[in-house]
Structure 1
Amino acid sequence: MRITATAASHLGRGAGPADDEARRIAAVLSEAVPVTAIDDFLGAQWTKLVVNMVNAVPAIVGRALGEVVADRGLLAVMTASMRECVRAGIAHDVRFAPLNGLDDAGLRRFARMPLSLGSRLPRSLVRRMGWEHNLGSTQQSIRRGQETEIDFLNGAVVREASAAGLEAPVNRALVDLVHEVERVGFLPDERVRAIPTH
């Protein structure tokens, strides 16, 4: 895998404070790579899941993130997948932890926005993180001929939404399309643009 962005690694326990064991494990791991024990690990996991919604669309069409967010139709699909993720988290009473410039208040506002306004979030995230040329980890897996993590990213949104009595049709479609790409190769942009995002 090619690392195109650096970020700290975190660990913790559930929604509570980091305990002594979490701090001990973080110290051991930090001998190899920097790891920090954090409070409210669950909230950080959910925010990271929102961030990871940038992976599916580039993986389906075989394009870099910068190209995807520059395309209105592809950006709309990415935005809708992020919004489903945030709404699922809210339905589970998650408090989103600050990560990659995102936070609880901002994500809650995003969940209520019309799609056209909400599209600013993934576009600004890609620009702020310097990910314009980033292919995303899902696409990198496809290019290496490896199974992707899509069932644990967009698939997790589908499962968590269902558990909360919600639907996540955009994420369900993205999971199916990524599995199709795993089988047959990259798909035309039009296949993704055809996903209903309302």
Structure 2
Amino acid sequence: MRIAVIGAGAVGGLVAALAARAGHEVLVTARGEHAASIAAAGLLVDGGWGEWVAAVELVESIPNRPIDLLILATKAHDSAQAIAPWATHDGTPVLVLQNGLGGEDAVRDALPRSPIAIGLALFAVSLTGPGHITVTGPNGLTLGGDSAAVAVAEPLLREALPADIVLAENIRGAQWTKLLINQVNALPAITGLSVQQTIAHPGLRGVIARAMVETVAVGTAVGARWGRIGAVDAEAIARVRAGGAAAAAELAEHLAAGMGDVPNPASMLQSIRRGRMTEVDAINGVVVDYGTSLGVAAPVNAALVGLVRKAQSGDPPLTPAQALARIPAPS
């Protein structure tokens, strides 16, 4: 297959490298020093799935060659700008591989004839340096969406990823569950701590728990049919709905335990460290926006959005005490 990965950062770059290792022709887009390193020496991958250098082709303009699968792996807020130039490939199946909501809408606007699959990655991966990707959590991926796109993406992913690929009939519900899991993402960007460190801190764990409770309340008001992501399923959501912050804190601790001992910086902190915008608006911001439209309060998520925006504007990391002082206390 010939695959084009739009946005070969941590997640996109890993999938590109895995596909290349499986023998596929892989084109990628990237920026800055990362792009220069890929062009010069390929993609170095190490960590949980072994070590190898993948030969991929860096493209700076849209290729005229036929492509079997487009993979959109930019941050969600970059989706529209990133996918628009690929309109000449309208009709080509697309796999959207992002955190948060909204990427598939940008694809439908730009490529209305393209079937769209959605991939929800559970593996943890870091962009360790230019052209260097490290797998810190070798977990699986949930896949769903348009059947025509899934039919192309699924065989590739099963061949390339050394992990479980789970098909979801209810991919929108699974997206909401992933949104809940991603409530662990903002505090590392604010504090500079790993996900495991934030969850280990009682006060910060309480913030994550209350953000999760808000996400469940908003998702329930939206009518989300919560889908399974890893070990988090509708029963886990029901426990959070019934047990509130205490049950959500237990869920957060369970997530941290599943990440192992390698510090997970989370994608937002990685963006901060690289001087890039984060995906906070597509994660916490979505909860606030939906909540506002439905009359469901989400003050913790709103506070997290504001603090992450300050961090991405250059404010220094906050200590846990400073972060807690800036987030609404439990009522």
TM-score range, shorter chain: 0.7 to 0.9
TM-score calculated relative to the size of structure 1? 0.87
For the Cα contact (< 8 Å) 1:76–1:115, is it kept in 2?
yes
2: distance between equivalents of 1:6 and 1:95?
Answer: 27
Contact kept in structure 2, 1:100 and 1:129, CA below 8 Å: no
Higher fraction of helix = 1
Q: CA deviation at 1:37?
A: 4.8
Letter matched to residue 24 of structure 1: A
Q: Kindly provide the CA deviation profile for residues 87-106 of structure 1, in whole angstroms up to 9, marking residues without a partner as x.
A: 11111221211112111122
3-state SS, counterpart of residue 100 of structure 1 = coil
Q: Name whichever structure is richer in strand by fraction.
A: 2
RMSD: 2.2
Aligned partners of 1:89 and 1:114: how far apart in 2? 15
* TM-score, length basis structure 2: 0.54
Question: What is the aligned-residue identity percentage?
Answer: 34
Q: Specify whether residues 132 and 91 from structure 1 end up closer, same or farther in structure 2 by C-alpha distance, changes over 3 A only.
A: farther
- Specify the alignment match of 2:310 in structure 1: 180
Give yes or no for contact 2:212–2:248 (8 Å, CA) kept in 1: no
* Cα distance between partner residues in 2 of 1:150 and 1:193: 18
1:113-124 paired onto structure 2 within 5 Å? 113-124=243-254
State which of 23, 33, 41 in structure 1 corresponds to 2:150. Answer: 23
Determine which structure has greater relative contact order: mean sequence separation of CA pairs < 8 Å that are 6+ residues apart, divided by chain length: 1
1:129-151 CA deviation, whole Å, 9 max, x = no partner? 32661111110111111111111
C-alpha deviation, 1:22, in angstroms:
3.2
Deviation, 1:176, is 0.3
- Classify 1:113/1:135 alpha carbon distance in 2 versus 1 (closer, same or farther; 3 Å): same
Q: Which amino acid aligns with 1:193?
A: L
What secondary structure is seen at the aligned counterpart in 2 of 1:12? strand
Larger radius of gyration: 2
Is residue 317 of structure 2 the alignment partner of residue 190 of structure 1? no
Alignment of structure 1 residues 20-169 onto 2, 5 Å? 21-27=148-154, 29-30=156-157, 33-34=160-161, 37-130=167-260, 133-169=263-299
